[in-house]
Amino acid sequence: MSRDYPLGTIRTEQVWKRFRADQQRMLLRDRVEQAARRLRGDRGEDWRWALRDINLHIEPGESVGLIGSNGSGKSTLLKMLTRVMYPYAGIIDVRGRIGALIEIRAGIHPDLTGRENIYLFGALLGLKRREVAGRFDDIVEFARLGGAIDRQVKFYSSGMQMRLGFAVAAYLEPHVLLVDEVLAVGDAVFQQRCLDRMREVAEQGTTIVFVSHDLPAVQSICRRGVWLEQGTVRVDAGIKDALAGYRDSIEAQSEATARVGEPLSLLTYEVRGETGEETLHTDEPVTVELTLGGDYRGDATLHLGVSEGTSSPIFQISHEIRMTGGDHRVACVIPRLPLPRGRYTLWAGVYSIGKTDGGTLMSWHSAGQFDVFGPMLDTPPRAVVLAAPVFVPHQWEE
Ligand SMILES: Nc1ncnc2c1ncn2[C@@H]1O[C@H](COP(=O)(O)OP(=O)(O)OP(=O)(O)O)[C@@H](O)[C@H]1O
């Protein structure tokens, strides 16, 4: 590998990583398979590939979101970039100082005070004492530690430790900032401040790799998205395309999950615009019509929801229905559709009311997608990440 990549470059070449299968969370079926192999006399060691042939080239200043379902290998890749883990094969090259927040207490020494930790971390990053001192106040201010800065970190709450960890990683001017899911433990206000800080750091030219299941947060920070699936790169593209592909795949999986044996099922659904036309327009009337089928007799609550992808719910509405043991048609009219142009998913679920309160008659699932035509939503100068619930005026008819 050539030696002259600029600071902030990240390269992985044909990176493979495996773990002993018996050292990880195993599914019952894996254990059965393992036992069966032993019975057959196959004593070969059991390995499972966590990452297979990962080739990434990230330029200085790029902001990359690593997305994918649980166990797809995101954290393993991030840990290898921070060098707390080594690949089985392949080359990993990260140029420059690395600021990383991959676990709440990563890099924070419990017996030292907050102040000592900041200087120690700075020294590990190769910064001079004077350079750390110049950023010290910003770190303490961001972490909101105040007087606690001279207390040993073992007496900090987990929230304080995380704030210190993030502030140190994000203020000691790393060339590369690596952040894993950990932000999820902070409160909403702190999460927002971390995201703001990450955006600032990105604007200053720091390379960022961000792992999160909070897809709107990833979208607001990253321009490029790498979607990992079962240890391989499924998509490496602009963030919008990567997220759209990932969301579609989650939806397809949830639709494929059969809801067998439930008392009710969704026989048909239709989302139509004004005067029955198929195209839907922002701020115009929309009718959602469903037919439920099943033997169940009694009162129930029907819930309908709309999301952008699966992880960004937009609104949810509900209505009491009386099921009489046969097919039941119900329609909901939304006089003015409050959705900008885009592709959305319709969700539905039915739950019993009365004595058996909360019983599931038809579990919450995505019924399908629909497109809305109309104006694009303006992007605010600084994307607001928290999803805002929308109230939708509506009437029901049946
Ligand atoms: N220390 C370990 N020992 C054994 N197996 C491991 C270890 N760390 C991770 N694995 C396995 O490697 C695979 C990838 O895990 P990893 O934590 O990287 O996934 P992830 O995409 O970060 O998932 P999540 O979204 O749940 O955090 C999983 O099958 C996991 O069980």
Digit-coded pLDDT (tens) for 250-300: 877 766 565 667 889 999 999 999 877 778 888 899 999 999 998 899 999
Tell whether the model's pLDDT for residue 321 goes beyond 90: yes
Contact 240/219 with Cβ under 8 angstroms? yes
Ligand 1 in contact with 90 (CB < 6 A)?
no
Ligand 1 in contact with 73 (CB < 6 A)?
yes
- Report the residue among 48, 76, 183 best suited for mutation to probe ligand 1: largest number of ligand atoms under 8 A from its CB: 76
Tell me how far the alpha carbon of residue 25 lies from the centroid of ligand 1, in angstroms: 9
Contact 198/191 with Cβ under 8 angstroms? no
Tell whether the model's pLDDT for residue 212 goes beyond 60: yes
Tell me how far the alpha carbon of residue 22 lies from the centroid of ligand 1, in angstroms: 13
Q: What is the pLDDT of residues 161-188, one digit of tens each?
A: 888 888 888 888 889 999 987 666 667 7
Who wins on pLDDT, 36 or 13? 13
Number of DSSP helices (H) and strands (E) in the chain, helices first: 8, 18
Tell me how far the alpha carbon of residue 158 lies from the centroid of ligand 1, in angstroms: 23
> Which residue puts its alpha carbon closest to atom 30 of ligand 1?
71
Burial track 298-308 (b if 16+ CB lie within 10 A, e otherwise): bebbbebbbbb
Ligand 1 in contact with 216 (CB < 6 A)?
no
- Report the residue among 15, 24, 178 best suited for mutation to probe ligand 1: largest number of ligand atoms under 8 A from its CB: 24
Q: Give me the half-sphere count of Cα atoms (radius 13 Å) on the Cβ side of residue 43.
A: 1
Contact 296/264 with Cβ under 8 angstroms? yes
Alpha helices in 144-271 (DSSP H): 158-171, 188-203, 215-221, 239-256
Nearest Cα to 306, choosing from 297, 295, 298, 317?
Answer: 317
Can you give the residue ranges of every domain in the chain?
9-21+45-249, 261-397
Contact 296/363 with Cβ under 8 angstroms? no
Q: Which of 95-99, 203-207, 324-328, 377-381 has the lowest mean pLDDT?
A: 377-381
Q: How far apart are the first and last CA of the chain?
A: 68
Ligand 1 in contact with 212 (CB < 6 A)?
no
CATH number corresponding to 261-397: 2.70.50.60
Tell me how far the alpha carbon of residue 76 lies from the centroid of ligand 1, in angstroms: 6
Nearest Cα to 154, choosing from 108, 103, 111?
Answer: 111
Token couple for 393? 């005026």
- pLDDT classification of 389: cutoffs 50, 70, 90: very low
Tell me how far the alpha carbon of residue 75 lies from the centroid of ligand 1, in angstroms: 7
Q: What is the pLDDT of residues 120-144, one digit of tens each?
A: 988 888 889 999 999 999 999 988 8
Give 83's contacts (C-beta < 8 A, 6+ positions apart): 92, 94, 98
Per-residue pLDDT averaged across 347-359, rounded? 76
Per-residue pLDDT averaged across 45-74, rounded? 92
Q: What is the pLDDT of residue 230?
A: 93
Distance from C-alpha of 379 to C-alpha of 239, rounded to nearest angstrom: 15
Tell me how far the alpha carbon of residue 181 lies from the centroid of ligand 1, in angstroms: 13
Q: What is the pLDDT of residues 64-122, one digit of tens each?
A: 999 999 889 999 999 999 888 899 999 999 999 888 887 766 667 889 999 999 999 88
pTM of the model: 0.70
CATH number corresponding to 9-21+45-249: 3.40.50.300
Q: What is the pLDDT of residue 392?
A: 53
- pLDDT classification of 357: cutoffs 50, 70, 90: low
Distances (CA, A) of 75 to 50, 56, 239: 10, 15, 19
Ligand 1 in contact with 49 (CB < 6 A)?
no
